Amino acid sequence: MSQQSLTLPPTDRKAVRRRRLLELLGAAAIAATFIFLVLTQPADIAGGLGSVSSLVALGGFLLGALLLIVGVLPTLPTSTVVLIPVALVLNIVLGQLMGTSGLPFYLDSIGTVLIAVLAGPAAGAATGALSSIVWSFFNPTVLPFAAGAALIGFLAGVAARYGLFRRFYLAPIAGFVTGIIAGVVSAPIAAFVFGGTSGAGTGAIVSAFRAMGDTLLAAITKQALISDPMDKAIVFAIAAMLVYALPRRTTFQFPFVRRFRVLAGKEPAARNS
Amino acid sequence: MAARLNPLTSLTAAAAVLVITTAASSWAVSLTVAVGAVLLSAAAGIVRRVVLAAAAVVVPFWLSLLVIHGLFFPEGRTVLTSWGPARVTAEGLTYALEMGLRTAAFVLVLMVFSFSVRIPELVAALAARRVPPQVGYVLASTLLLAPLVAARLEKVRQAQESRGLVVGRGIGSRVAAIRLQMVPLVLGLVHDAGIRAQSLDARGFRSTGPRTSYTEVRDSAGQAAFRVFAILLAVAAVVWRIAESLPAGSLSAFPQFVGGA
């Protein structure tokens, strides 16, 4: 999946296999953590903070994210690696802006989705995880959400791979579905690590569900199902708009775009720009 | 003080403290850790920056916790006051307080690390540990790039304004203005990244051979021993917490909870 540079010797088979193993282990750690949290959740909130769940959520999701990063990054072509910092800055700048606005949206993954569309699911997942880690230098509370961010990048890449970014109206639909999945996976972190908080706007929705007597995880999952699909639909639409605005010379530099005809339809670009 | 440490030592220490705080999950431990982090930052001379940055994160967080758990906590028994659907319960307030303190400790400890660490040293230390060089590149490059991108956005805005961009009241005009600024910004950044990729490749960025580093990272046997000790301590805390929870733990506590609720 990675394109070998012409001037450098190809990486040996063993290293490639080891990295693939790291990727699989990372994905397995994230999946196992989520399943464990959902199966054991009801015991927790009544008896204090539920520190076993917090530890498992923190440890499992972070470990998975780190394994993904170490496994994926060395396989990416340099043109993608240099784009990752740009994506991270876009995530952080726009995410901080939304975090202060009080709206129940985050819009903190535009850069991640952009990379995923240009460079594929693996690059998207690594970018999402890295985004959380680098952002945590300014705002440590986003660190535990690394696995959710990786999942968003991965799903955006899969959507691009199957041509959902060829038409402008398909991108928000893919975003909506991604938001449902990512929201459900991230909810246990908000619930067990932070007691249900990830922003002022979302907090109001969570307390509304709590007032109806839901458990904390149920309330947060419902809140996530309200905010996240809308949020990701907007993010995917913005990312699609940005990709269409890029010149062909730039987008076709990426092997992923060429190979899977990610942007075959150029007509929407003409209509939207 | 922190600058003389190997960045991996302070990172290990921060991670171990976080794990132990989470495992303990008591307000006294969280408060101690939070106060300790503030004192440590005072000793390192960064207390103002750390406290301001942490407050910007933690204060909205506390307010949100207070709204969620202070007003609505269906599991709470001791009702202090209630109006309409909102019931202020002692359990809810305790939960909000404990969670708030634990998060404050979490944020402060990581902030002390991130404000005291020197990024070039961290990158060099990671590379010495055979972490792929791309990780270090992304970390350092993002932190350097952030102010550049902000400056560039400002330039784009000025250019568009001089071309007649006026941001009106309506949401449509505002969205159009955002688009007019974002598209040139992203275009320029992606284009720059392509040029950077070529020069990095020309300098052997992807080569897998041995690398030398200009940055000498200090390390000592004492620090290495401390790292091992901190990791062992964190593992012990996790094992203790899991062992503690097992008798009344996840599965056996389940019917008790259902009965209690």
Rounded Cα–Cα distance for residues A174 and A165 (Å): 9
B145 and A86: CB-CB below 8 Å? Answer: yes
CA distance A120 to A123: 6
- Residue A114: pLDDT band (50, 70, 90) is very high
Question: What span, in angstroms and rounded, lies between the C-alpha atoms of B152 and B78?
Answer: 55
Q: What integer is the mean pLDDT of A70-89? A: 88
A6 at the B interface (CB within 8 A)?
no
Helix (H, G, I), strand (E, B) or coil at A209: helix
**Mean pLDDT, to the nearest integer, of B242-260?**
52
Would the ipTM clear 0.85, i.e. be above it?
A: no
Q: Does residue B130 surpass a pLDDT of 90?
A: no
Whole-Å CA distances, A29 to A190, B12, B97: 18, 21, 31
Q: Token pair 């009106």 is at which residue?
A: B168
Residue B261 pLDDT greater than 70, yes or no: no
Residues of B in contact with A140 (CB under 8 A): 57, 106-107, 110-111, 114
* Closest CA of chain B from A181, distance in Å: 24
Q: Assess whether pLDDT exceeds 80 at residue A180.
A: yes
Residue A158 has pLDDT above 90, yes or no: yes
Q: In the prediction, which pLDDT does B1 show?
A: 45
Distance CA B156, CA A123 (A): 28
Contact B241 A55 (CB under 8 A): yes
DSSP assigned state of A44:
T
| Mean pLDDT to the nearest integer, B38-64 | 87
What mean pLDDT do residues B158-163 have? 89
How far B224 CA lies from chain A's nearest CA (Å)? 22
CA dist., res. A100 & res. B122, Å (int): 30
Return the pLDDT at A223: 81
CA distance A232 to B92: 32
Mean pLDDT, residues A187-204 taken together: 70
Residues of B whose CB is below 8 A from A257? none
Residue with tokens 């070998």: A4
Average pLDDT over residues B25-33: 87
Best-predicted range by mean pLDDT (A196-205, A225-234, B80-89): A225-234
Residue in this structure with the two tokens 């404990």, named with its chain if needed: B98
Instruction: Please name the member of A85, A214, A246 whose beta carbon is closest to the beta carbon of B138.
Output: A85
Q: What band does B108 get if pLDDT is binned at 50, 70 and 90?
A: very high
Whether residue A49 and residue B201 make contact (CB cut-off 8 A), yes or no, is no
Which residues in chain A touch residue B134, judged by CB atoms under 8 angstroms apart? 73-74, 76, 81
> Which range (A1-10, A37-46, A101-110) has the least confidence?
A1-10
By the 8 A CB rule, do A203 and A27 touch? Answer: no
Domain ranges (residues) in chain B: 7-117, 132-202
DSSP B68: I
pLDDT band at A199 (very low <50, low <70, confident <90, very high): low
Residue carrying the six token digits 């961290």? B122
Residue A262 has pLDDT above 50, yes or no: yes
* Confidence label for A115 from pLDDT (cuts 50, 70 and 90): very high
The answer to whether A62 and A146 have CB atoms below 8 angstroms apart is yes
Residue B211 CB neighbour total at 10 angstroms: 10
Q: Which residues of A touch B67 (CB under 8 A)?
A: 203-204, 207
- Say yes or no for a CB contact (<8 Å) between A134 and B64: no
Question: Does the CA dihedral B128-B131-B132-B133 come out positive or negative?
Answer: negative
For residue B72, which residues of chain A lie inside 8 Å, CB to CB?
Answer: 207, 210-211
The rounded radius of gyration (Å) of the Cα atoms in chain B is: 25
Check A89 against B193: CB less than 8 A apart. Answer: no
pLDDT computed for residue A153 by the predictor: 93
- Crossing angle of the two packed helices A121-135 and A83-99, in degrees rounded to 10: 50
Chain B residues with CB-CB distance to A141 below 8 A: 57, 61, 103, 106-107
Give the DSSP H/E element, type plus range, for residue B149.
helix B133-162
Q: Which residue has the tokens 């780190």?
A: A66
What's the sign of the alpha-carbon dihedral B129, B131, B133, B136?
A: negative
pLDDT range class, residue B250, cuts 50, 70, 90: very low
- CA dist list (Å): A85 to A127, A128, A250, B144, B214: 9, 11, 17, 9, 23
Q: Note whether A58 contacts B: Cβ–Cβ < 8 A.
A: yes
What are the b/e assignments for A98-128, b being 16+ CB within 10 Å?
bbeeeebbbbbbbbbbbbbbbbbbbbbbbbb
CB A83 within 8 A of CB A123: no
Closest of A192, A205, A185 to residue A56, by C-alpha: A192
**Which pair of tokens denotes residue B105?**
């400790």
Q: Exposed, middle or buried, B45 (CB in 10 Å: 0-12/13-18/19+)?
A: exposed
pLDDT digits (tens, 9 = 90+) for B52-106: 888 888 888 888 888 777 777 766 666 777 766 677 777 788 888 888 888 899 8
Q: Are B70 and B92 in contact (CB under 8 A)?
A: yes
Q: Which helix (H) or strand (E) holds B31?
A: helix B27-44
A35 and B CB contact within 8 Å: no
Lowest mean pLDDT: which of A105-114, A195-204, B223-232?
A195-204
Residue A237 — φ and ψ, nearest 5°? Answer: -65, -45
Kindly state the percentage of chain B with pLDDT values over 70.
87
Least confident of A142-146, B1-5, B193-197: B1-5
Return the amino acid letter for B195.
Answer: I
Mutate to test the interface with A, among B134, B196, B241 (most CBs of A within 10 A): B134
* Residue B165 confidence (pLDDT): 79
Please tell me the distance in Å from B190's CA to the nearest CA on chain A.
7
Contact A157, A120 (CB under 8 A): yes
H/E stretch holding B125: helix B119-128
> Are the beta carbons of B254 and A78 separated by less than 8 Å?
no
Above 50 in pLDDT, residue A46?
A: no
Question: Amino acid letter at B48?
Answer: R
Q: What are the chain A neighbours of B207 within 8 Å (beta carbons)?
A: 8
Q: What is the pLDDT of residue B256?
A: 40
Which residues between 215 and 244 in chain A have a beta carbon less than 8 angstroms from any beta carbon of chain B?
238, 241-242
Task: Compute CA A175 distance to the chain's CA centroid, rounded to the nearest angstrom.
Answer: 11
Question: What pLDDT, on a 0 to 100 scale, did the predictor assign at position B85?
Answer: 66
Report CB contact under 8 Å: B201, A242: no
Give which of A18, A61, A82, A133 to mutate to test B binding, by max B Cβ within 10 Å.
A82
For position A50, what pLDDT does the model report?
Answer: 62
Cross-chain Cβ contact A136/B179 below 8 Å: no
* pLDDT score at B228: 93
Search chain A and give the residue with CA nearest B119. A137
CA distance A39 to A62: 19
What confidence tens digit (pLDDT) does each residue in B203-247 have? 888 777 777 777 778 888 889 999 999 999 999 988 888 887 766
Percent of chain A with pLDDT over 90: 17
Picking from A47, A58, A143, the nearest residue to B22 by CB comes out as A58
Tell me what the mean pLDDT of segment B26-51 comes to: 89
- Taking the C-alpha atoms of residue A139 and residue A147, their distance in angstroms, rounded to an integer, is 16
- Band (A241; pLDDT cuts 50, 70, 90): confident
CA A97 to chain centre: 18
Chain B residues in contact with A204 (beta carbon < 8 A): 67
Decide if pLDDT at A174 tops 90. Answer: yes
- pLDDT at A233 (0 to 100): 93
Here the tokens at position B111 are 């902030």
Cβ of A42 within 8 Å of Cβ of B96? The answer is no
Average pLDDT over chain B reads 81
